Chains A and B, each alone.
Chain A
Amino acid sequence: MELTGAEVIIECLKAEGVDYVFGYPGGAVLHIYDAFYKQDDVQHILVRHEQGATHAADGYARATGKAGVVLVTSGPGATNAVTGIATAYMDSIPMIVITGQVPKHLIGNDAFQEVDSVGITRPIVKHNFLINDVNDIAETFKKAFYVATTGRPGPVVIDIPKDITAEKVAFEYPAEIDMRSYNPTVKGHNGQIKRAVDMIVKAERPMIYSGGGVILGNGSEQLRTFTRSLGYPITQTLMGLGAFPASDPLSLGMLGMHGTYEANMGMHHCDVLIAIGARFDDRVTGALEKFCPEAKIIHIDVDPASISKNVKVDIPIVGEVAPVLDAINAQIGQKGGKAAAEQTNKAALEKWWAQINEWRAQDCLKYDRESEIIKPQFVIEELHKVTNGDAFITSDVGQHQMFAAQYYGFDKPRRWINSGGLGTMGFGLPAAMGVQLAHPDETVACITGESSIQMCIQELSTCKQYGMPLKIINLNNGYMGMVRQWQEFFYEKRYAMSYFDALPDFVALAESFGHVGIKVEKSSDVRPALEEAFKQKDRLVFLDFITDREENVYPMIPAGAGLNEMILV
């Protein structure tokens, strides 16, 4: 039986096990929407803006590890999706974005709602395709899902001219795909692994620095085994939080610009740095010439281009985190029949931990817990208690994001969902929608601020349509907090354009969308309000916390400084 191109697309999505597509209709994709109408296998979630669709698919992907799928129309549909595609690209999130295109004979004609979607998205995708023939749809989808989800994952755009979606073809989905130009490395090189193991067990001042790659590569279990068997200190990047439990005494918390004192000092003074699925981002390293001056560096990463990009490493291991750590764990386990901890330099480690504990005693995340004015950090700590530290937390970008990363204490992978690389304000609410759909019975909260939330606030309407019982934690200080903080530190408090003279009444706003709104203005009301909100299992509750207006995120490494040059409170 022959199917239309549009029906073939649906069949491809079914074959890939896609349960949700986030999208917004328009002229160029009407055949595809008609095909959606005629089936029940793949559910379409109608967002209110295409940026919301990409972030929702992204949140879904981060929470599940499966590719998120987006469907948008040509022209403005595609350009509105660009921010979300770039967000996914920077954080290596698997995503398929189907963009409608004008009919083939009009391409290049400046037709209505025509843009060169493949050209516009080229620098922000892992790969993209323009389908020219209805016979190519199935194979292209197979390739797209394969490329998006393997190796270092990333978004893939498929641009489909409208006429092709109406043409008929016999459908057959390829069982396997072989691409001569694309063969990601899975296992690490054995010789390199041996050299790394030697260096690891001999370390006197070791430090494990793990990143988002551990979560993307499902290597959390292996990382726990590795770290605990050796008893080495571990610090995690913003993207890596949760891969190793924050509550474990071996965890030094996050590193980098707003990392803990003990993590950053540990980085600066370590003699062996074990980087796992992390990419030495500028917010992590600080000034490169001052980075880890005494360390030999081992770097495990699936992407060879990440290795020695910013920091020259001594032992590179290209491969997926999980199989490489499995191999390392096995080799340490087999060495002379002794347990891993027996092989390490015990005396040196004892000294190293004593030093780390001295740094820890600085208690760099302390703040005024008795304050009557609501401290943003206090809200996060209370949120942790009310949700038993087990919620899925999405965030927007700014101070609230850093507070969430510092104070929530993630113990499980895929629970902390934020835009780390691109730093996209407006990410949190739509991302939370994707997470909630992926895990309908789990608690999902979006930690945001009054500036970020306004960037995709329209998605409150989507939440109502699909009954998504999100909890929105709005840390409302009236400022673009992080911008204001930089202006305070580096521009002599000239708060240029970082203050809103008019803010909506968020409670009334939430109510107008059919949700529950609660305004909280005193510290003593924080806990009861949170408890009240999380009791409402089937309602979206928007909590508007009026917080300390000029609280800053500490500690902080100013731009151009080394990790040992932090500003403490």
Chain B
Amino acid sequence: MVYEEDNSEAVEMKHIISILLENEAGALSRVAGLFSARAYNIESLTVAPTDDPSLSRMTLVTTGTDEIVEQVCKQLNKLVDVVKLVNLTDDVHVERELILIKVKAENEQRDEVKRIVDIFHGHVIDMTNSTYTIEVTGDSEKIDALLKALEGITMLEVVRSGQLGMGRGDKGIV
């Protein structure tokens, strides 16, 4: 991408943000509504209750300049339902995403698809005479690479979980 000015601060980057929030009706729409109201991007968003049923944990992937993402984090922190927020991108962390793909798999393609699934350490979790449903987990680069590897194959259905993230090391978000 070409920018009119050489302004390194204006570069847009992907950020993965972890949020602990009250597990209450409407909490998710507060977060989602904030993004649409302030014209921020959401690339993916996953949310589910944690081991403490009164808390949900959300992983949110967004892109923006450092200034925008700083604003995103501040505005999220301002939501009364948000208990804790960590921008995982600031430190070493792990990311995982799950993808399910239903592909056409007939004749010699059945072996070809199975080989690709093995290479990506995935599983075939459902099959018919003409299709496989495959499951692969990994970081988003691996998932993107898988989709590229399957380019010659007819994909009938694709669903991705969105990314989950967690900081490396012995500390947790509480």
Binding site for B on A (CB under 8 A): 118-119, 122-123, 126-128, 130, 147, 179-182, 303-305, 307-309, 312
How far is A307 from B73 in the complex, measured between Cα atoms in Å?
A: 12
With A304-B77, A308-B70 already in contact, 12 other A-B pairs whose C-beta atoms are closer than 8 Å: A122-B29, A123-B33, A123-B37, A127-B80, A147-B80, A180-B83, A181-B81, A305-B75, A305-B78, A307-B74, A309-B74, A312-B67
B78 touches A181 (CB 8 A): no
Closest to A305 in B: B74
B80 touches A126 (CB 8 A): yes
Q: List 8 A-B contacts (CB under 8 A).
A: A118-B26, A119-B29, A122-B29, A130-B26, A304-B77, A305-B74, A309-B71, A309-B74
Is B61 located at the chain interface by the 8 A CB criterion?
A: no
Is B21 located at the chain interface by the 8 A CB criterion?
A: yes
Interface residues of B in 77-108 (CB under 8 A from A): 77-78, 80-83
Is B1 located at the chain interface by the 8 A CB criterion?
A: no
How far is A535 from B121 in the complex, measured between Cα atoms in Å?
A: 88
A181 touches B21 (CB 8 A): yes
Q: What total count of A-B pairs have CB within 8 Å?
A: 38
Chain A residues whose CB sits within 8 angstroms of the CB of B80 once the complex forms: 126-127, 147, 179, 181-182
Per-position contact with A for B18-47: 1 when CB-CB < 8 Å, else 0? Answer: 000110011001100100010000000000
Closest to B30 in A: A122
Closest to A132 in B: B25
How far is A307 from B67 in the complex, measured between Cα atoms in Å?
A: 11
Closest to B78 in A: A305
Q: State how many angstroms separate the Cβ of A338 from the closest Cβ of chain B.
A: 38
Consensus secondary structure, chain B interface: helix
B33 touches A181 (CB 8 A): no
Q: State how many angstroms separate the Cβ of A35 from the closest Cβ of chain B.
A: 27
Chain B residues whose CB sits within 8 angstroms of the CB of A122 once the complex forms: 26, 29-30, 33
Chain A residues whose CB sits within 8 angstroms of the CB of B78 once the complex forms: 303-305
How far is A308 from B74 in the complex, measured between Cα atoms in Å?
A: 11
Q: Which among A147, A304, A305, A307 has the greatest number of chain B C-beta atoms within 10 A?
A: A305
Q: State how many angstroms separate the Cβ of B110 from the closest Cβ of chain A.
A: 47
Closest to A304 in B: B74
Q: State how many angstroms separate the Cβ of B158 from the closest Cβ of chain A.
A: 31
Closest to A119 in B: B29
Q: State how many angstroms separate the Cβ of A307 from the closest Cβ of chain B.
A: 8
B82 touches A181 (CB 8 A): yes
Closest to A152 in B: B78
Chain B residues whose CB sits within 8 angstroms of the CB of A182 once the complex forms: 80
Chain A residues whose CB sits within 8 angstroms of the CB of B67 once the complex forms: 308, 312
Per-position contact with A for B37-64: 1 when CB-CB < 8 Å, else 0? Answer: 1000000000000000000000000000
Q: State how many angstroms separate the Cβ of A305 from the closest Cβ of chain B.
A: 4
How far is A127 from B30 in the complex, measured between Cα atoms in Å?
A: 9
Closest to A151 in B: B78
Q: State how many angstroms separate the Cβ of A544 from the closest Cβ of chain B.
A: 41
Chain B residues whose CB sits within 8 angstroms of the CB of A119 once the complex forms: 29
Chain B residues whose CB sits within 8 angstroms of the CB of A130 once the complex forms: 25-26
How far is A126 from B37 in the complex, measured between Cα atoms in Å?
A: 14
Chain B residues whose CB sits within 8 angstroms of the CB of A309 once the complex forms: 71, 74
Chain B residues whose CB sits within 8 angstroms of the CB of A304 once the complex forms: 74, 77-78
Closest to B72 in A: A305
Chain A residues whose CB sits within 8 angstroms of the CB of B75 once the complex forms: 305
Chain B residues whose CB sits within 8 angstroms of the CB of A118 once the complex forms: 26
Report the 3 A-B pairs with minimum CB-CB distance, sorted nearest first.
A305-B74, A127-B80, A181-B83
Chain A residues whose CB sits within 8 angstroms of the CB of B83 once the complex forms: 180-181
Chain A residues whose CB sits within 8 angstroms of the CB of B21 once the complex forms: 181
How far is A182 from B70 in the complex, measured between Cα atoms in Å?
A: 19
How far is A122 from B25 in the complex, measured between Cα atoms in Å?
A: 13
Q: State how many angstroms separate the Cβ of A142 from the closest Cβ of chain B.
A: 14
Chain B residues whose CB sits within 8 angstroms of the CB of A303 once the complex forms: 78
Q: State how many angstroms separate the Cβ of B25 from the closest Cβ of chain A.
A: 7
Chain A residues whose CB sits within 8 angstroms of the CB of B25 once the complex forms: 130
How far is A180 from B37 in the complex, measured between Cα atoms in Å?
A: 26
How far is A182 from B29 in the complex, measured between Cα atoms in Å?
A: 18
Closest to A303 in B: B78
Q: State how many angstroms separate the Cβ of B62 from the closest Cβ of chain A.
A: 16
How far is A127 from B70 in the complex, measured between Cα atoms in Å?
A: 22
Closest to A143 in B: B80
Q: State how many angstroms separate the Cβ of B10 from the closest Cβ of chain A.
A: 13
Given the known interface contacts A126-B80, A303-B78, A304-B74, the answer about A181 and B22 at a Cβ–Cβ threshold of 8 Å is yes
How far is A90 from B147 in the complex, measured between Cα atoms in Å?
A: 46
Closest to A122 in B: B33
Chain A residues whose CB sits within 8 angstroms of the CB of B82 once the complex forms: 181
Q: State how many angstroms separate the Cβ of A304 from the closest Cβ of chain B.
A: 5
Q: State how many angstroms separate the Cβ of B147 from the closest Cβ of chain A.
A: 36
Chain A residues whose CB sits within 8 angstroms of the CB of B77 once the complex forms: 304-305
B71 touches A305 (CB 8 A): yes
